[in-house]
Structure 1
Amino acid sequence: MKKKKGPLILTGVLVILLIVYFGLSSWNKKQDKKEEKETVKVTDLDESTITAIKYQVAAGEMSFEKEGDTWYYSEDKDFPLKQSKPEAIVKAAAQITADRKLEDGDSLDAYGLDDPNYSIEITEEDGTVTTVSFGDSTGTDYYVTVGDTGTVYTVASSVLDDFKTELSDFAQLDEYPSIGSGNLKKEVITENGTTTTYDSENEDQEEEIAAVAGGLGAVSLTTVADYSVEDADLAGYGLDEASRITVEATYTKNEDEKTMKMYIGSEDGNGNRYVMLDGSKIVYQISDEVCKNVLNQE
C-alpha cells in the first residue's frame, strides 16, 4: 500500500516557513537594538524645563524667553508672538542627534569649532545653559560640539532647518474678516470730524456699496511696517487720532451681525498707506488703490 506523501510535504514546508519567520523576527529585533544603540545624542533635554533659547543661524540672532506658560520675543515683549513657533524651536533644540561621535579627534580648530559658524544656546529653569556650536561643513553634515566638553560630533545639516528663521515667521498677525457686497451692511467713514455713511438698505447707494465692498474685500493684512507700535509713534504713520481716517464696517457672518473698525493713515512714499485695526498694535501697509476703493475715492 502506498503512503500518502502530501501531508508530510506540507508539514515540512510549514516547519521551514516557521524557521524562516522566527529567524527574520530575531534578525529584525537585533537590527532594532543595533540602531537604538548607535543613536548618538548631542542634546537630551526635557523641553518642558527650557525657559529661554537664543540662536544665531541665518538671519542674525534670535532670542526668546518664557514666563509662566507664555513665550516672548526677548527684544520686544509686545511683539505678537505665535506661541507654536518658539515651542517648535525648543523641541528641535532639546533633542539633537548626531550621525557619529568622533573618537580621538583633533583639536576644535581643526573642525572650525574654535570660531563657530552657528550656535544655539538653551537655558533651563534651574539656570543650566547648554550651548551647541556648529563648525565647518563636511558636505551634508556639520561638525558640532557642546559647551566646553571638547567632544566633536557630525550632525546632518538638516538639523539647522528649523532654525533658519526670520522674525516675520513668528508673528501672529490680526485676522481680517471676509467682507464683500454679499454681506456688507453698512460702512461709516470718519475723516476730520466729517462722517460719510454707505448703507446697503439705501437703493440710491448701490454703486457706492459695491465699490467700498470691493475695497474692503481686497484688503490683505500681510505686509507689516511695525509689529508693536508705541502710541508716541502713531503720528509718524498718520495713525494718531487727529490724523487717521476711521472706517467702521458692519457685516454679517453666519447670519450674525459683526463690526470691523480699521484706521487708515498716511502714504509711505511707495504707493501704499499705513493701516491698523482697532485694538491692535500692528501697523500694516496696503496699496493706496485699495484704500481709495475702501473710501470710495477717485
Structure 2
Amino acid sequence: MNRSQKKTLLTLVVVVAALAAVLLIVRTLKDRSARQAEEEAAAAEAAGVITEEAAYSALSYDNGTTALSFALDENGNWTWADDPEFPLDDSTVTAIVDLLTALKPQQTITDGDTLEAYGLDDPFATLTATTPEGETLTLALGNATTDGTSYYILMNGQESPVYIIADTLYTYMSKAIYDMCALPELPLLTEERILSVTLSGTETVTLTPDQDEDADGSVTVTWKSGGEDVTDAAADLIGELEALSITKCVDYKPTDEAVSICGFDEPVTVTMTYLTDSGTEQTLTLAFGTENLDGDGRYVRVDDDTTIYQMDLDSVDALFAAAQNGLTAADAAAETADAADDTAA
C-alpha cells in the first residue's frame, strides 16, 4: 500500500469515526428527548390525577407512628372516624385536602434507581383520600431527599414513575390528634366583669369586688376577702384570671387511672362568677391537677367537661399559691416570679 492509499484509508477511518460519534450523539439526544417527553407526560398525568377537582369525603393516613382517619358528616364537617364526638379543629384535615387538590410533583422519575433506593419497596407512610363516589387517590411515601425538604412517593399503587413532593404534606400528617382538638375558649374575665372568685385547696379564699366610679367616670375596684381590703395581695391573682387560656388537650375521655395520675382526686378549684357581654350572670369552674411531666404546665378541667387540658404553669402560679396557702403566699409567689423575670432580663 503506497502513501496515497494509506492517506485515503486514514481519511476514511477518521470520517467513519466522526460519523459514528455523530450518530451516537444523535441517538443520545433522541433517548434523552424521549425520556424527557416520557417524564413530562407522566408528570402531566400525575398532575391531572392529583389536582382534579375531587370532593373528598374521607381521608386516612398512617404517618409511620400513628394511623388516623377522618370523614365528612352530613353537615359537611370533618370528624375523627374513631370518635365523631371528638371536638376536632379540622384546619389540619382541610389543609391536607387542599394540598392534595393542588399538589404537583417537583420532579418525575421514570428511569431511576430501584424502589429500594428510594425507600419505596416498603413505604413508611401512606395516605388514601376517597370521594363520595368511591374513587380513591393513594400516596406511598419513601425516603426523604438528600436535603431533607422533600419525599419520594408512589401514587395509586403503581411502581413507576417515582415522584418527588415537598415535605409540607407529611408535616401535616405528623400532627397528633390531640393537637387537632378545638380548645375551649374561656370567657373575657376583666375586673369590671368578675363578681366573685373562690379558690379552694388546702385553703379556701373568696374575693369580691367593690366598684367605685370616680369623678372622671373611671371605675376603681377594691378587692375584699372576709371584709378586709386585699387589693394589693390579689393584684397578680386577678391579672392571671384576666389572661387565662387553655394551651393544649392532654387526654380526651380519660380513664379513672389517668384522672388520678393527673391529680384530680383532690384538685384545686377556682370558681368565678362573672357577667357576659349581655350582662347575664355566669359561672366558670376550673379544677387544677398536678404539674405535667415537663414541669411547664398544669393539668386543668373546665366546668363539667371531663377532658384533661393544660395551662402554662407560670400563668396560674398566683392562683394555685392562694388556694394552697392563702393570699399572702400568692403575693409572695408573684414577687418571686417578678424577681426571676427581672434577673432573666
TM-score range with shorter-chain normalisation? 0.5 to 0.7
Structure 1 counterpart of 2:307, one-letter code: I
Matches within 5 A, 1:47-126: 47-56=54-63, 60-66=65-71, 67-68=73-74, 69-104=76-111, 107-126=114-133
**TM-score, length of structure 2 as denominator length:** 0.60
- 1:178 corresponds to which of 168, 185, 188: 188
- For residues 87-236 of structure 1, the aligned pairs below 5 Å read 87-104=94-111, 107-139=114-146, 141-160=150-169, 161-189=171-199, 197-201=206-210, 204-207=228-231, 210=235, 212-229=237-254, 234-236=259-261
Deviation at 1:54, TM superposition (A): 1.3
Q: Quick one: which of 246, 249, 258 aligns to 2:272?
A: 249
* Offset at residue 218 of structure 1 (A): 4.7
Distance 2:286 2:141 in 1: 46
Q: Secondary structure at the match of 2:142?
A: strand
CA deviations 1:166-209 (Å, max 9, x no partner) are: 334412111123324344221134669x9753211357344265
Q: For 2:290 and 2:108, locate their aligned partners in 1 and report how far apart those are by CA, in whole Å.
A: 57
Structure 1 residue 275, shift from structure 2 partner = 1.7
Give the secondary-structure state (helix, strand or coil) at the position aligned to 1:92. Answer: helix
Q: Deviations over 1:116-150 (max 9, x none)?
A: 24322223334444321123444465332113322
The verdict on how the C-alpha distance between 1:272 and 1:86 changes in structure 2, with shifts beyond 3 A counting, is closer
Over residues 37-75 of structure 1, what are the superposed CA-to-partner deviations in whole Å (9 max), with x where a residue is unaligned? 975415245442331321316xx2241321333323345
Structure 1: unaligned runs, 5 residues or longer = 1-34
Pair member with larger Rg: 2
Match 1:276 to one of 291, 301, 307: 301
Call closer, same or farther: CA 1:284–1:205 in 2, change over 3 Å.
farther
Q: 1:38 to 1:112 in 2, by over 3 A?
A: closer
Task: State the partner residue of 1:289.
Answer: 317
* Residue of structure 2 in register with 1:26 after alignment: none
TM-score of the two chains, using structure 1 as the length reference: 0.68
Determine helix, strand or coil for the equivalent of 1:87.
helix
Q: How many residues align?
A: 259
Given that residues 50 and 90 in structure 1 are in contact (C-alpha distance below 8 angstroms), is that contact kept between their aligned partners in structure 2? no
Q: CA deviation at 1:249?
A: 1.2
Residues 55, 132 of structure 2: 8 Å contact kept: no
Q: d(CA) in 2 for partners of 1:233 and 1:142?
A: 38
Task: Identify, as 1 or 2, the structure richer in helix.
Answer: 2
Cα distance change of structure 1 residues 107 and 128 upon mapping to structure 2, 3 Å threshold: farther
* Secondary structure at 2:182 match in 1: coil
Match of 1:11 in 2: none
Secondary structure of residue in 1 paired with 2:139: strand
Q: 1:142 to 1:239 in 2, by over 3 A?
A: closer
* SS of the residue 1:113 aligns to: coil
The whole-number CA distance in structure 2 between the counterparts of 1:81 and 1:164 is 16
Q: Is the 8 Å Cα contact of residues 301 and 308 (structure 2) preserved in structure 1?
A: yes
What value does the CA root-mean-square deviation take over the aligned residues? 3.8
1:100 deviates by: 4.2
**CA displacement at 1:277 relative to structure 2:** 1.0
Q: Could you give the per-residue CA deviations for residues 81-130 of structure 1, whole angstroms, max 9, x where no partner exists? A: 10222122122134422234334555533433212243222233344443
Unaligned runs of 5+ in 2: 1-39, 211-223, 330-345
Q: CA deviation at 1:233?
A: 5.1
